[in-house]
Amino acid sequence: MSDYAKPPISPGLISLDVSTGSLLPSGPTLTRRLSDLQGCFKNMEAWQQEVNNGNPIVYQVVSSVVPEIPRELPQSVTTIFPGSCDGELYMTKGHQHPDPQGEIYYGLAGTGGIIMFDGKQTSWIDITPGKIGYIPPGWAHRSINTGTSEYKFLAVYPGSAGHDYQWVLKNGMGLRAFTKNNKFELEEFNS
Ligand code: S6P
Ligand code: ZN
C-alpha cells in the first residue's frame, strides 16, 4: 500500500488522471462501503437491507503523498459512485474540521454538490467540472453525487484540519439530498 511522504517533503509534481481519479505518486486510498455510513441515511431500514444485500462501495478517497500534519497542504481525490438508498443520494460521511480551517473542492468529473452546515445555517453548492466550492472555517461539509455517472472532485485543505465525524452524527447536516421521480430535491434534514 502507498503511504504518506515523510517530512521534510521535497518540491514535487503530482499527476492527476481525471478518468480514473488516481494520483501519481499517491498516498493511501480509502474505500467506504454503505456499512461505513451508519447513521447517515434517513431510512435506516433501507440502509440495513442494502448493507445486507451486497454492501456496495459508495465512495473512494485517493490521497496524495502530502501528509495530514500542521503546515502541510494535503490533497485528495474523492470519487462518489452513482446511487441512492431509498431515494437519498450517495454521499460522503461528512465532517467538521476540529481545527477550523477552510478548504476548497474543485470539480473534476460528473455532477454533484456540497451540503454545508455551521450548526445554524445551511448551504448547497452545485459542483461540476471546472467549478471551485469554498468551504469556510466552521462549516461541516458533505458531498453528494447528483448524477448517473461517477462524481469526482479534488480537495485541498490545511494539514492540521482533521476530521470530526461525530459532530455530523450529533448535529446533522441541515439538508438531505434526494432523487424523486428522476428529479433532484433538497429536504430539511429532520423533515
Ligand atoms: C478532507 C476533505 C475530503 C473528504 C472526502 C471524504 O478534509 O473534506 O478529502 O475527506 O471527500 O469525505 P469524508 O466526509 O468521508 O471525510
Ligand atoms: Zn474537509
Q: What would the 3-class secondary structure string for 31-63 be?
A: EEEHHHHCCCCCCHHHHHHHHHCCCCEEEEEEE
78 CB less than 6 Å from ligand 1?
Answer: yes
Per-domain boundaries in the chain: 15-188
92 lines ligand 1 (CB under 6 A): yes
pLDDT exceeds cutoff 80 at 9: yes
Nearest to 79 by CA among 68, 67, 91, 87: 91
Domain 15-188 fold is Jelly Rolls (2.60.120)
**Which residues sit opposite 180 in a β-bridge?**
183
Q: Tell me which of 31, 61, 165 to substitute to probe ligand 1's pocket, judged by most ligand atoms within 8 Å of the beta carbon.
A: 61
Cell numbers at residue 4, please?
504518506
pLDDT tens, residue by residue, 152-183? 999 999 999 999 999 999 999 999 999 999 99
d(CA 156, ligand 2 centre) in Å:
9
CA-to-CA dists, residue 174 to 66, 115, 121, 170, angstroms: 32, 8, 7, 12
pLDDT, one tens digit per residue, over 73-104 is 999 999 999 999 999 999 999 999 999 999 99
Amino acid making up residue 49: Q
Phi and psi at residue 47, to the nearest 5°: -60, -45
Query: The pTM is what?
Result: 0.98
